[in-house]
């Protein structure tokens, strides 16, 4: 499940292979993704690739006339391969380049998406997003204001893309544990001291994951490259019923907003 670090690592991985290449065409074997580009857009994609950027968990392949927007959903991953590489199961989309290579999107569960935004326009999906977690716009004042007016559980507010982007279920669990905040605690009841702890925890955890992934995954043109996956120390996620690594208390698992939530009732308040 690609979270923001995996998406950023993917961006860094594919970027050198795409930048300054000409995008020749898009081959779609499976259009039944979460969203798909209109046909008339596909016809105009024979353009040079200027750069590959990221906003939240969306990748943007920037062309002179606009941006291809890609989301990896739950199970999507990208590879750069020789153009004649046979497609295997769940290889849905190929972005064919003029250097005999292609960018291939494989997405088992098809929660991923491919969209288009015309140059100078902002796609509605990107228009109302909160700040990037690693940017200065995501600061204590912003976090405090967002939490102050919400009665929902702290974890749900943290995962709200209008508050901050890119904090998925795993990182929300981990960050709240590290900050000592009970996931179910009403956001408005979270103390100033807890928020002051939470902010750097989010930034540090995401930054460390990107750094680690960046060193682990260097060559996205290898067929056995594993973008969207890197080893990390998970303190609570997936460890419900097991002992807390800090105090040895048994970790509690509940569901919040239909998502698995794990915490230590001793360390988190």
Partner DNA sequence: AACGTGCCCTGAACGC
Partner DNA sequence: TGCGTTCAGGGCACGT
CB of 164 to DNA, least distance (A): 10
Decide if 69 contacts 126 (C-beta within 8 A).
yes
Q: Which residues contact 24 (CB under 8 A, 6 or more apart)?
A: 46, 96, 97, 98
Catalytic residue among 57, 79, 104, 155: 57
Is 16 among the catalytic positions?
no
Which residues lie near DNA (CB under 7 A)? 1, 3, 32, 34, 56-57, 71, 73-75, 89-90, 108-111, 125, 149-153, 156-157, 159, 161, 165, 168-170, 237, 255, 257-260
Residue placing its CB nearer to DNA in the complex, 161 or 212:
161
What is the C-alpha separation between 107 and 75, in angstroms, rounded? 5
Residue placing its CB nearer to DNA in the complex, 101 or 201:
201
Decide if 268 contacts 252 (C-beta within 8 A).
no
For tokens 């290889």, name the residue: 91
Is 255 among the catalytic positions?
no
Residue placing its CB nearer to DNA in the complex, 108 or 221:
108
Is 40 among the catalytic positions?
no
Catalytic residue among 3, 6, 8, 174: 3
Q: How many CB atoms lie within 10 A of CB 219?
A: 11
Residue placing its CB nearer to DNA in the complex, 151 or 231:
151
CB of 171 to DNA, least distance (A): 8
Which pair of structure tokens corresponds to residue 139? Answer: 């600061």
* 114 three-state secondary structure: strand
- Please give the positions annotated as active site: 2-3, 57, 259
């Amino acid at each position: 499940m690609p979270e923001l670090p995996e998406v950023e690592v993917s961006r860094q991985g594919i970027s050198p292979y795409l930048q300054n290449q000409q995008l020749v065409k898009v081959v779609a074997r499976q259009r039944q993704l979460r969203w798909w580009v209109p046909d008339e857009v596909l016809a105009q994609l024979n353009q040079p690739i200027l750069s590959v950027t990221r906003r939240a968990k969306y990748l943007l392949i920037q062309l002179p006339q606009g941006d291809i927007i890609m989301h990896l959903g739950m199970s999507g991953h990208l590879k750069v391969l020789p153009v004649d590489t046979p497609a295997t199961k769940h290889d849905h989309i190929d972005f064919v380049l003029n250097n005999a290579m292609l960018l291939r999107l494989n997405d088992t569960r098809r929660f991923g998406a491919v969209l288009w935004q015309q140059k100078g326009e902002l796609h509605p999906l990107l228009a109302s997003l909160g700040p990037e977690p690693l940017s200065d716009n995501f600061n204590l004042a912003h976090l405090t204001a967002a939490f102050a007016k919400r009665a929902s559980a702290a974890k749900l507010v943290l995962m709200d893309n209008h508050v901050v982007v890119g904090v998925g279920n795993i990182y929300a669990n981990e960050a709240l544990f590290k900050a000592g905040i009970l996931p179910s605690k009403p956001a408005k009841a979270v103390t100033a001291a807890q928020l002051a702890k939470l902010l750097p925890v989010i930034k540090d955890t995401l930054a460390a994951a990107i750094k680690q992934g960046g060193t682990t995954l260097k060559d996205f043109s290898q067929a056995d490259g594993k973008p969207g996956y890197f080893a990390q120390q998970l303190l609570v996620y997936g460890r419900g019923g097991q002992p807390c690594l800090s105090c040895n208390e048994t970790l509690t698992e509940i569901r919040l907003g239909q998502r698995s939530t794990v915490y230590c009732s001793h360390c988190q308040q």
